[in-house]
Amino acid sequence: MTSDALDGLLQRLGIELADRDTLGFALTHPSFSSEQGGEDYERLEFLGDAVIAYSIASHLYVAFPDLPEGDLTRMKVALISGKTLAQVARDLGFADAIRVGKGAARDATRDSVLENAFEAVVGAISLELGIAPARDFVLRVLGDRLDPRTLLATTSDAKNLLQELAQKRGLGLPSYEITAEEGPAHLRQFTAAVRVDGALVGEGVGGSKQAAERAAAAAGLETLEAR
């Protein structure tokens, strides 16, 4: 990437970085480094992932002092999902900045690649400027996604969030099973279990099968987040 291209990206990001080499690595797909040599974004991605998780968790903890851990977890998962981070990267013009190998030209527009590059750039920011500026950057570019009304709406979408998290970790689709049905006809209570990659990760109870599955998914989110 040319110096002018890096300057343009930094302007869009609203930050200043003196270490252009590290930023360049953050925008280098493994296919490019395999062909040309040098580092790629994978190590920086590892660091940036942790910085993003901390940034969002600390923000939610302060912004929603009365919410239980489960609700905070669901909000956090929604914000760090691959689709969310990929869209942020796409809006910032990352697709035009990522260096990919000759045989992987289309990869620069894939959600997974955009997500990885965004995480790597956050890692690069934290290395040069520190955790606090990196956190400020993450929260700033998330923008309206941090609106309390938007975040509160995610607490009822546990099944979709669990599916996204499981797929992000390469664990396949969650599977649900109604394991118990109790009570009179007008006041039934259902118990649901959810498994991910064959392992039981959550159980939940509700007045309908759908509600029980949502409760199980919420429990499953907490289980996966704790791993």
- Catalytic residue list: 49, 119
User: What is the distance between the alpha carbons of residues 179 and 161, in angstroms, rounded to a whole number?
Assistant: 22
Q: Do β-strands 189-196 and 175-182 pair in parallel, antiparallel, or remain unpaired? A: antiparallel
* Residue 114 token pair: 């955009």
- Going by C-alpha positions, the residue among 195, 190, 187 that lies closest to residue 208 is 190
C-alpha distances (whole Å) from 106 to each of 82, 99, 223 are 18, 11, 35
**Alpha-carbon dihedral 178, 227, 87, 215, rounded to 10 degrees:** 30
